[in-house]
A and B are shown apart, each in its own frame.
Chain A
Amino acid sequence: MASQPKEITEFVTQKYEAGFYTDIEQDSVSPGLNMDVIEFISKKKGEPQWMLDWRLKAYTRWTNMIEPKWAHVKYPPINLQAISYYSAPKSQEDAPKSLDEVDPELLKTYEKLGIPLEEQKMLAGVAVDMVFDSVSVMTTFKEKLAEAGVIFCSFSEAVKNHPELVQRYLGSVVPVSDNYFAALNSAVFTDGSFVYIPKNIRCPMELSTYFRINAMNTGQFERTLIIADSGSHVSYLEGCTAPMRDENQLHAAVVELVALDNAEIKYSTVQNWYPGDENGVGGIYNFVTKRADCRGVNSKVSWTQVETGSAITWKYPSCVLKGNNSVGEFYSVALARSYQQADTGTKMVHLGENTRSTIISKGISADQGQNAYRGLVRIAKGAKNARNYTQCDSLLIGDRSGAHTFPYVEVKNKTAQVEHEASTSKISDDQLFYLRQRGISDEDAINMIVNGFCREVFKELPMEFAVEAQKLLSISLEGSIG
């Protein structure tokens, strides 16, 4: 964008350096995990003492925990001492200089997704010129957000600029010792997003990590904290619709959402990490802890996720429905193909009166993919008139695929109504035959049926996301049909 005023360009560049890439010159720390490494991370990030203490507390707890084995996934043991817990963002020198240096397979995928050239460069990690659409767009957005009083920044910025909010809410939804990977994340997280929506504010636009370019490079251990104050509303999009090649093996993120009285948070994810090659080699282990706390009355949290990537997905976006009349929703499409394994679902913990939850989960297994839904619906003793509806359907494509369902229903209150239904089947021959005899190719027919199967979830996604999610699904399924 040659026409852009010089000042803006400079400003953007500056901001970028100061805010996001300050550590660019730093070396990585040698692999291994101990107190020194945590102190190193904290120091590098210029964190206050309380943050370091918090990390060290998490680390101490973590050392006493053992890796959970209950998930329906198989993987070789992860050597956590072989991972480097602090590597500065990839410097511009290491990045590919132009698109010619990028894996052509990756580019093909971008093309199919209809991603503009500039964005393609960004996604592939090409050293991009700072003057380009989304950046300027981002600045205007930032102004608009600031006007509304919305705080949207990286986690490290929040620690520096809004310590009172971070201290108050960090770890209040996912305690440091919640689980093995959450404790690990609490000890070593490097960055992430922080969102605060003030009272009675409807966030003027959908927030997305997409606009914060370097969020992609925060790597393995990111931490997201979203606080919706009383009466506020926010829609947050996470992830990226294009496959990111990432050499990291373990991705253990923690996402905490807090919804106060009458607040609403909508959290959408399209996850497409590298799933490994066709032989099941490589790929991301995506072990994520996501939880929302509906603290206030009439609060609402809605999780929508489309999971097509990662070698192993292990995540259960959950809602703790504390406030009376609070609502939790979970809509999920999970695809496991080639050697992918997914063990995903949700937990709905009803504590308040008149709390309601809805779970719609669609699992697709193709090739040798193994897809498991694992969900918990717990109605506590005090949760009068709680209501839950769960539907989880699985679609099988190929005779070596697997679909599994492990729903837990625990009811301690006699006024509760809980329903769960699940079905597993393959694409019906009748449907396929109907489409084929209308002249639709096998592949298109299957895409159409799969998209229909996922419709209930896609309609919960913001429009652009829904379109891309559909495309993504068809790309992911490509070639999986005899």
Chain B
Amino acid sequence: MSALANSLATQFREHFNKLPGADNPSIVAMRKRAFSHFEATPMPTTKHEDWKYTDIRPLYDTTYTALNEASESDFEDLHLSDLPLPTFTPHVVVFLDDQFCRRLSNVGALPKGVELTTIKSLLQRKSPTIIDHMEGFDTAFPSLNSALLRDGIYVDLEPGTNMVEPIHVVFLSPHGKAPRLNSARLIVNGQNNSRCVIVESHYNLSGAQSMTNALTQIYAREGARVLHHRIQIGETAAHHIGNVFATVEKDAEVETYSFAFGGGIARIDVNADLIGSGANVVLNGLFMVNDRQHIDHHTRVRHRMPHTNSTENYKGIADGDGRGVFNGKILVEKNAQKVKALQSSRNLLLADNAEIDTKPELEIYADDVSCAHGATVGQLDEDAFFYLRSRGIDEQTARSILTFAFAAEIPGDISIVDLRKWLEGLIIDRTNAIGLNTVRHDE
């Protein structure tokens, strides 16, 4: 057994009867089942098709501390204003190591019909409905999340609710001494014809070794619309496993963005299930890698019903010794006619030691469909570069302008201006961080 599984097994045995919901036998049983599923699932190797380009051994070889009580006092000097957090919304929920942090959070006044509940309190309730969201995963990490879960947030929107202001959920993994494993969970339940905007961000605050195992579940019931933005920022020592499951019902829409900026190994799986006709999903993503970072996005769109649409647009930039991986799968099931699915994966490869691996897949079992995908790997356009140089712009700046222009398409569609500007700022910071100069332009 791997070091990770070994150490987690010990910690799980020690702590499972102290975790939230320990007085409820069905939750304890669920945790045990989930943990044995994690243990029983062999560590993925590069021989597994889904992990072909990501060697996850460094993660399994580390002994992580999970489940021990983090004391608030460790973070007393931490203030919301110190964090590089944007101010586009008054609704901010902060988690520090898997614990809800009341001091840093600012839930604000929520409109009627919107309810934010911590998962901890849902687990502690006598008859929790939360248990339905805990099982039935194919892979190891979501099960591990359920087994070790201590807290998270459950966003519930009553039918017809329109929540215009974004809800920002922040997961922080701060400076720990020993390598730490955090489990983050976000559940969004958009009931019929409701609307909401969610921003989910994951920060690693220091260069300390850590691992985040995040799980996001989005339900867009009939006619609902959920806009979801996922931002992950990490240092090379921070590993990140993210799983997003979106279930889209009849005439509902989920638009989900994944921005991944760094991380030792970051692996993000975005799964969308279109289970009602008229369902629509938009998957957009951007990753930027540098140093020895490795970011791997796997998306899976499953068209289960006729008249469902999906649009996917992923971009990647690899610099330094970074490696970027994209694997996108579109599956059209039998009888899911009149499906339209588009997928694009475009990548910039900027350094000698960088690498891009992309694999856009189509698996189609219905005939009356229109599906297309495209993938490119290339460099900055020489003509555009020459044009900028001929205007007297120095090489570095020209390169960063073009890199930014390439990346900016992804946040470009975001309608919340402050959120978009914040993301563009992050992109510019990144282009600075990868050794490219760029002037921050304040519009």
Chain A residues at the B interface, C-beta cutoff of 8 Å: 70, 72, 379, 381, 394, 396-426
Q: Contacts A417-B378, A417-B379, A426-B369 given: A411-B362 contact, CB under 8 Å?
A: no
Chain A hits for B334, CB < 8 A? 399-400
A401 proximity list for chain B (CB < 8 A): 365, 367
Most buried by A among B337, B349, B351, B369: B349
Cross-chain contact B370 with A414 (CB below 8 angstroms): no
- Nearest to A414 among chain B residues (CB) is B349
Cross-chain pairs A/B with CB under 8 angstroms, 23 sampled: A399-B368, A401-B367, A404-B361, A404-B362, A405-B361, A405-B363, A406-B361, A407-B359, A411-B355, A411-B357, A413-B349, A416-B377, A417-B377, A417-B379, A420-B374, A420-B376, A421-B372, A421-B375, A422-B374, A423-B373, A424-B362, A425-B369, A426-B367
**Known contacts A404-B363, A411-B349; is A423 also within 8 Å of B372 by CB?**
yes
* Closest-CB distance, B280 to chain A (whole angstroms): 19
A416 partner residues in chain B, CB cutoff 8 A = 349, 377-378
Q: Which residues of chain B come closer than 8 Å to A400, judged between CB atoms?
A: 334, 365
Q: In the complex, how many angstroms separate the beta carbon of B301 from the nearest chain A beta carbon?
A: 14
> If the complex has contacts A414-B354, A414-B379, A417-B378, are A423 and B371 also in contact, measured as CB distance less than 8 A?
yes
Q: How many Å from the CB of B342 to the closest CB on chain A? A: 10
Contacts of B369 in A (CB 8 A): 396, 424-426
Q: Which residues of A contact B337 (CB under 8 A)?
A: 399
Which residues in B have their C-beta under 8 angstroms from that of A394? Answer: 362, 364
A399 to chain B, nearest CB (A): 5
Q: Give 10 closest A-B pairs by Cβ, nearest first.
A: A396-B367, A423-B372, A405-B362, A420-B375, A424-B371, A411-B377, A421-B374, A418-B377, A402-B365, A426-B367
- The total number of A-B Cβ pairs within 8 Å is 117
Q: Which of B351, B365, B377 contacts A409 (CB 8 A)?
A: B377
List the A residue with the shortest CB-CB distance to B323: A412
B357 touches A410 (CB 8 A): yes
Separation of A408 and B329 alpha carbons in the complex (Å): 12
Interface size class of B (residues with CB under 8 A): 35 or more
Checking A411, A421, A422 against B356 with a beta-carbon cut-off of 8 angstroms, the contacting residue is A411
Is B74 engaged at the interface, CB distance under 8 Å to the other chain?
A: no
> Which residues of the partner chain B approach A397 to less than 8 Å between Cβ atoms?
367
Residues in B neighbouring A407, C-beta threshold 8 A: 359-361, 375
CB of B211 within 8 A of chain A? Answer: no
Q: Is B188 an interface residue (CB 8 A)?
A: no
CB neighbours of B354 from chain A (8 A): 414
Q: Are B367 and A408 within 8 A (Cβ)?
A: no
- Given A408-B359, A409-B358, A414-B351, are A422 and B364 also a contact pair (CB < 8 Å)? no
| Cα–Cα distance between A397 and B364 once the two chains are bound (Å) | 12
B357 contact set on A, CB distance < 8 A:
408-411
Asked if B335 lies at the interface with its beta carbon under 8 angstroms from chain A, I say yes
The distance from the CB of A244 to the nearest CB of chain B, in whole angstroms, is 30
A381, A399, A413, A420: the one within 8 Å of B360 (CB): A420
Tell me which residues across on chain A come within 8 A of B77, comparing CB atoms.
none
Residues of A within 8 A of B371 (CB): 423-425
- Judge whether B366 and A412 touch: CB under 8 Å: no
Interface flags for B377-405 (1: CB within 8 Å of A; 0: not) read: 11100000000000000000000000000
- Inter-chain contacts of B352 with A (CB < 8 A): 381, 413-414
Chain A nearest Cβ from B121, distance in angstroms: 45
Q: Which residues of B contact A415 (CB under 8 A)?
A: 379
Q: CA A415 – CA B348 in complex, angstroms?
A: 10
B355: chain A residues at CB < 8 Å are: 410-412
Report Cα–Cα, A379/B347, bound state, in Å. Answer: 14
Whether B378 and A418, one on each chain, are in contact in the complex, defined by CB atoms closer than 8 angstroms, is: yes
Report chain B residues within 8 Å CB of A412.
355
Shortest distance from the beta carbon of B439 to any chain A beta carbon, whole Å: 25
B49 at the interface (CB under 8 A from A): yes
Residue of A nearest to B379 (CB): A414
Least distance between B53 CB and chain A CB atoms (Å): 8
Given contact pairs A402-B365, A414-B350, A424 touches B372 in the complex (Cβ within 8 A):
yes
Contact A421 B359 (CB under 8 A): no
Q: How far is the CA of A401 from the CA of B376 in the complex (A)?
A: 28
**Shortest beta-carbon distance, A56 to chain B, in Å?**
28
- Across the interface, do A426 and B368 meet the contact criterion of CB distance under 8 Å? yes
How far, in angstroms, from A72 to B365 measured CA to CA in the complex? 13
**Chain A residues whose C-beta falls within 8 Å of the C-beta of B350 in the assembled complex:** 414
Query: Which residues of B70-102 have CB atoms within 8 Å of chain A's CB atoms?
Result: none
Sample of 9 further A-B pairs with CB below 8 A, known A420-B376, A424-B370: A70-B49, A402-B364, A409-B356, A413-B349, A414-B349, A416-B378, A423-B371, A424-B362, A424-B369
State the Cβ distance, B16 to closest chain A Cβ, in Å.
37
B219-252 near A? 1/0 per residue, CB < 8 Å: 0000000000000000000000000000000000
**Smallest CB gap from B362: residue in A:** A405
- In the assembled complex, how far is the CB of residue B28 from the closest CB belonging to chain A, in whole angstroms? 38
Tell whether, in the assembled complex, residue A422 and residue B373 are in contact, meaning their CB atoms are under 8 Å apart: yes
A422 nearest in chain B by CB position: B373
Q: Max chain B CB contacts within 10 Å: which of A406, A408, A410, A414?
A: A414
Chain B residues closer than 8 Å to A419, beta-carbon distance: 374-376, 378
Out of B53, B335, B351, B364, name the residue touching A424 (CB < 8 Å): B364
Which residues of B sit under 8 angstroms from A422, Cβ to Cβ? 360, 362, 372-374
A422 to B365, CA, bound (A): 16
**A405-B356 in contact given A399-B367, A414-B350, A416-B349 (Cβ < 8 Å):** no
Residues from chain A with Cβ under 8 Å of B53 in the complex: 410
Complex: how many Å from CA A111 to CA B372? 39
CA distance A190 to B357 in the complex (A): 40
A394 to B364, CA, bound (A): 10
Residues of A within 8 A of B374 (CB): 419-422
Closest B residue to A396 by CB, please name it: B367
Q: A366's closest neighbor in chain B, by CB?
A: B367
Find out whether the CB atom of A406 lies under 8 angstroms from the CB atom of B359.
yes
Residues of B within 8 A of A396 (CB): 364, 366-369
| Bound-state Cα–Cα, A421 to B369, Å | 17
Distance, CA A399 to CA B337, complexed state (A): 8
Q: In B144-184, which residues have CB < 8 Å from any A CB?
A: none
| Cα–Cα, bound, A213→B276 (Å) | 58
Complex interface: chain B residues within 8 A of A379 (CB): 377
Q: A406-B359, A411-B356 are in contact. Are A418 and B376 (CB under 8 A)?
A: yes
Complex Cα–Cα for A423 and B344 (A): 12
**When the two chains form their complex, are residues B367 and A409 in contact, meaning their CB atoms are under 8 A apart?**
no
* B332: nearest chain-A partner, CB-CB: A424
Roughly how many angstroms separate A421 CA and B356 CA in the complex, as a whole number?
A: 17
**Among B53, B334, B371: residue with most chain A CB under 10 A:** B371
Q: B237: shortest Cβ distance to chain A, in Å?
A: 25
Closest B residue to A401 by CB, please name it: B367
Query: In the complex the two chains form, what is the Cα distance from A423 to B371 in whole Å?
Result: 6
Given contact pairs A411-B355, A423-B372, A425-B370, A403 touches B364 in the complex (Cβ within 8 A): yes
Q: Is the CB of B373 within 8 A of A409?
A: no
Q: Which residues of B contact A424 (CB under 8 A)?
A: 362, 364, 369-372
Q: How far is the CA of A402 from the CA of B358 in the complex (A)?
A: 23
Across the interface, name the chain B residue whose C-beta is closest to A365. Answer: B367
Across the interface, do B372 and A409 meet the contact criterion of CB distance under 8 Å?
no
B372 touches A404 (CB 8 A): no
Residues of B within 8 A of A425 (CB): 369-371
Alpha-carbon gap, A419 to B379, bound state (A): 12
Q: Which residue of A lies closest to B370 (CB)?
A: A425
CB distance from B407 to the nearest CB of A (A): 17
Nearest CB in chain B: distance from A313 CB, A: 18
Alpha-carbon distance A403/B368, docked complex (angstroms):
12
B183 CB, nearest partner CB in chain A, Å: 32
**CB-nearest residue of chain A relative to B349?**
A414
Nearest-CB residue, chain A, relative to B371:
A424
With a cutoff of 8 Å between Cβ atoms, the chain A residues found around residue B366 in the complex are 396, 399
A409 touches B359 (CB 8 A): yes
> Which residue of chain A has its CB nearest to the CB of B351?
A414
For A404, the closest partner residue in chain B by CB is B363
How long is the Cα–Cα vector from A417 to B347 in the complex, in angstroms? 10
Nearest chain-A residue to B319 (Cβ)?
A414
